[in-house]
Structure 1
Amino acid sequence: MGAVVRQTSVGRAGLERVAIKILATLFLSGLLMVGGAAQAAANAKYAGLVMDAKTGEVLYESNADAPRYPASLTKMMTLYLVFEALSSGRISTDTRIPVSRNAAAEPPTNLALKPGQTITVEQVIYGLVTRSANDAATAIAEYLGGSEAKFAAMMTAKARQLGMSRTTFKNAHGLPNSQQKSTARDMARLGVALREHHPRYYKYFSTRSFTFNKRRYGNHNNLLGRIEGVDGIKTGYTRASGFNLVSSVQANGRSIVAVVMGGNTARSRDAHMADLIKRYLKDGSTGRDRMLIAKAPGGARTAFAAMIPGSRVPVPTDRPEVEALTAYAPEEPVQAAATLASVSAPAPRPQTTIEEVVASVDPMPTASTADKAAAAQASDLGGWVIQVASMPSEDEALMFLAETEKKAPTVLASAVPVTETFEKGGVTYHRARFVGFNSKSEAWGACATLKKKSVSCYAVQQ
């Protein structure tokens, strides 16, 4: 009898211990969720958003339009432009990209590229999605843009086309620049656009590891393979930004893109992202997929293409004039520690001069019905542009833009020169324009200055 009673007592004690553990687990789980929300609310760097990728409905947001440093989330736009160049046939995955001294000097994280070597476009892509390699980002930027500054202008231009109205890029990798800002909402739009516009290449974001020069690099995205449905996209970190993450999730017929910016640690960022996915994926639509982020209309594509240099543009060999890196920290500090110990102090980053630009330039209104239609097609893209000439050849248009810049370097310091092709009466012409004016007063003020210097000028709002 005693034995039976003792056995029963032990059983009850065990059940009590189990019950206590369960209650403690539930309590701590709730505490973590509440604590995580409180921590996010108290964190001045924090911003977050969850978007239904089928409908565009915002399921959750906090500080979604507040300016934040994107850090290596920047490479999402770098890759968007790489995918666009691949889709247009300008490059292939086998195209070899030269590495300049400027690119090779980028601090970790990197692929330890050497000046003078080449790397394929596909290796660049893998290097960006897994290692978040800064040297590879700069190399491809110089190849596609002719310079870091020009490529950054192209990135901002593309951001405007995609509706990312609060984003400005100053480099291709996300290393600190006080003028390089974005928002959680804009990053969500970019994540959706990558999936919608480049499904053929989007699969690269799910790469778990990449081997280069006999060294294996794992993906910094810790949620790949751990959270059901996560198929990318990108992490980011600098001391100024905190820990950032954009995640794409597709599961059970539902699809979301979630953004966390400004996490205190990689672990807390990942935990918060996992919680957002768990909470809001179930609220996503199960309807059919539809295009949420419109591609730019024909006129805008033409103007954007005019910004892309030809293949004869030389790749820089020296680093440009620079500013000190005051807030640099590698993508993943713990993993990069050994690498940092083996290199000299990071080379300072260049101070770019191109300010925020407006992407889409429609044909200038004329009596031509075709011109009016094209202008109407691009009228919703926003911004102001000035036109200074129309030439029979692109070389003449480019020369005129360069001469105009020399005449008014101050008033055009924030503008980007572009050319745009159009036909009239069976003859091809090339408009010479400056893009990047944020208001009517800016654009007309620039024209007034140019007219004083005997340069014809016309300003128009998009």
Structure 2
Amino acid sequence: MIAFLRRGLFALLAASLVLGVHVRPIEAQSQESSRYAAIVIDAATGEVLFARHADSRRYPASLTKMMTLYLTFEALEQGKAHLNDVLTISPRAASQPPSKLGLAAGQTITLDNAMRATAVRSANDMALAIGEHIGGSEARFTNMMTMKAEQLGMTQTRYVTANGLPDARQLTSARDQAILARAIMRDFPQYYSYFGLHDWAYNGRTYRNTNGLLPTGRGYDGMKTGYTNASGYNLAASAVRDGRRLITIVLGGRSTASRNAHVAELMDTGFEVERRRAQGERIQVAQTFFEQRGFGLGGESATGDAPIAYASIRDDEEGEAPGSTAVAYTAAPAPAVLPTRVAPSPSERAASQRAAATAQAAGQAAAAPRAPHNVTASLNGAPASAVAAPSTTPRRTTPPPSREPARAAARAPAGRWAVQVGAFRDEKVANDWLTELNRRFRTQFATAERNVQTAGDWYRSRFTGLTETGAKSACEALAERRVTCMVIGPN
């Protein structure tokens, strides 16, 4: 038998050489899809619009907390728990690694605040404290979680931790997470808004939601992020546009930013399907429409790049394995460009050529600015519709801060040079991207003004009022982080 298998393998390899067929190693083929999985569904009908590896088992990471909160919502509805219940933090809960709220053993917190910490901060200690409060112990609570998953039809899911910290036995699938997300909205609409809180204030500190899509103005109103070394970057997202709601699950991303970008692309395509159907176009198999847009067997985007191809420099994602106290994020290849690019003006082209000469060592490309995927407009270019609020909204401790970039205080500009970091069809997107880069590169743009300039139908995001040296060094710093930019000299 062994000799027969060997002869068969030899014959296959020989045939590949004769016919010129490229046979990739099995390890290489499996590695590409070992963590990635995605699904897009219509929340109202449950129709699957797109699926890739949707039933393959994956690690849920902090998406686990969606089930933790589902059971909490159920206990609240049944009167077995109340929002003002006081939880005493156990030594086990206090010992959980980051991300965490950091209460010491013996300290107390209300169930309402523990839920907010779990949804917004993705606090591992609070998720465990909730599990112990609802179930009596983590083991009993995780049994409840697994039983509930079975009841909901989540056939690939098993829970052994209440917070999603690494355990090889804790598994799920993209389809199962979509089932859970839909169940939360269907069964507990009065509590769904916990997943959409942009921020939460507690003990004098404000925590921002780890879901970076919420403030983009694209109809995103909730769900959950997740990350461990084993799982990669996960995201369950939901959005409403033109009265229709979609749920998108992406598992196994390589970074926060590229995962968000891929979710946004899938969402945009899904809403495009819905829009065309509403206009009378017959699209019976939505999967085909996605594949025509470039989402191939590996989930690649329309640009041909991997859906999750570059790393984030954010520092507010969930923690890693037990025992870690910090999470390191590293830079990787640049994000893919939008399908449509902005042509530079002659003056900008000349400026970019000058910048290229000075930044050659940093590998900077002085080409037309590219808009990052995580802030793209929808495929049809239409603005997102207003999102209907859940029937009952949990109390907000403090109102969310404005997402618009703050106006710089009046001051004399340091210089007449500028750094352009993108061009967009949507003015708000242009402003949001300036705000994000200003947060990431505070040192480089400490003296700069944020400015959005119109150019026909485009809005150009620029940092202005810089000296020549300041502009070039800032652009070099961005280039090192694979953020596309262009130095603009005085007109």
Q: How does 1:386-425 map to 2 (within 5 A)?
A: none
| Separation in structure 1 between the aligned mates of residue 81 and residue 158 of structure 2, nearest angstrom | 26
From 26, 49, 54, give the equivalent of 2:44. Answer: 54
Q: Deviations over 1:180-234 (max 9, x none)?
A: 0000000000000000100000011110111122121100000002042111100
The alignment partner of 1:130 has SS state of: helix
Structure 1 residues not aligned, in runs of 5+ = 1-38, 288-331, 347-462
**TM-score, structure 2 length as denominator?**
0.51
| Separation in structure 2 between the aligned mates of residue 155 and residue 184 of structure 1, nearest angstrom | 17
Q: Deviations over 1:124-174 (max 9, x none)?
A: 111011100000011111111111111000000000111101100001100
| Separation in structure 2 between the aligned mates of residue 113 and residue 232 of structure 1, nearest angstrom | 26
Q: Which residue does the alignment assign to 1:335?
A: 315
Per-residue deviation, 1:283: 2.2
Q: Which residue does the alignment assign to 2:374?
A: none
User: Is residue 2:267 matched to residue 1:277?
Assistant: yes
| Separation in structure 2 between the aligned mates of residue 114 and residue 133 of structure 1, nearest angstrom | 13
Q: Which residue does the alignment assign to 2:477?
A: none
Q: Deviations over 1:54-85 (max 9, x none)?
A: 11110000000000000000000000001001
Q: Which residue does the alignment assign to 1:412?
A: none
| Separation in structure 2 between the aligned mates of residue 259 and residue 344 of structure 1, nearest angstrom | 28
Contact preservation (8 Å) 1:254, 1:282: no
| Separation in structure 2 between the aligned mates of residue 257 and residue 236 of structure 1, nearest angstrom | 16
User: Is residue 2:233 matched to residue 1:243?
Assistant: yes
The 1:149/1:269 distance shift into structure 2, 3 A limit, reads same
Contact preservation (8 Å) 2:256, 2:314: no
| Separation in structure 2 between the aligned mates of residue 333 and residue 103 of structure 1, nearest angstrom | 28
Contact preservation (8 Å) 2:228, 2:319: no
From 138, 162, 168, give the equivalent of 2:158. Answer: 168
Per-residue deviation, 1:42: 3.2
Q: Which residue does the alignment assign to 2:7?
A: none
The alignment partner of 2:153 has SS state of: coil
Q: Deviations over 1:349-406 (max 9, x none)?
A: xxxxxxxxxxxxxxxxxxxxxxxxxxxxxxxxxxxxxxxxxxxxxxxxxxxxxxxxxx
Q: Which residue does the alignment assign to 1:191?
A: 181
Which structure is richer in relative contact order (CA contacts within 8 A, separation 6 or more)?
Answer: 1
Q: Which residue does the alignment assign to 1:255?
A: 245
Q: How does 1:33-432 map to 2 (within 5 A)?
A: 42-284=32-274, 334-335=314-315
Q: Which residue does the alignment assign to 1:367?
A: none
Q: Which residue does the alignment assign to 1:301?
A: none
The 1:338/1:97 distance shift into structure 2, 3 A limit, reads closer
The alignment partner of 1:177 has SS state of: coil
Q: Percent identity?
A: 45
Q: What is the total number of aligned residue pairs between the two structures? A: 262
| Separation in structure 2 between the aligned mates of residue 179 and residue 95 of structure 1, nearest angstrom | 31
Runs ≥4 residues deviating over 3 A: 39-43, 284-287, 336-340, 343-346
- The structure with the largest alpha-carbon Rg is 1
What is the root-mean-square deviation of aligned Cα atoms in Å? Answer: 2.6
| Separation in structure 2 between the aligned mates of residue 339 and residue 241 of structure 1, nearest angstrom | 12
**TM-score, structure 1 length as denominator?**
0.54
The 1:122/1:40 distance shift into structure 2, 3 A limit, reads farther
The 1:337/1:49 distance shift into structure 2, 3 A limit, reads closer
| Separation in structure 1 between the aligned mates of residue 127 and residue 106 of structure 2, nearest angstrom | 16
The 1:339/1:198 distance shift into structure 2, 3 A limit, reads closer
Structure 2 residues not aligned, in runs of 5+ = 1-28, 280-311, 326-491
Q: Which residue does the alignment assign to 1:433?
A: none
| Separation in structure 2 between the aligned mates of residue 207 and residue 144 of structure 1, nearest angstrom | 23
Q: Which amino acid aligns with 2:73?
A: F
Q: Which amino acid aligns with 1:335?
A: D
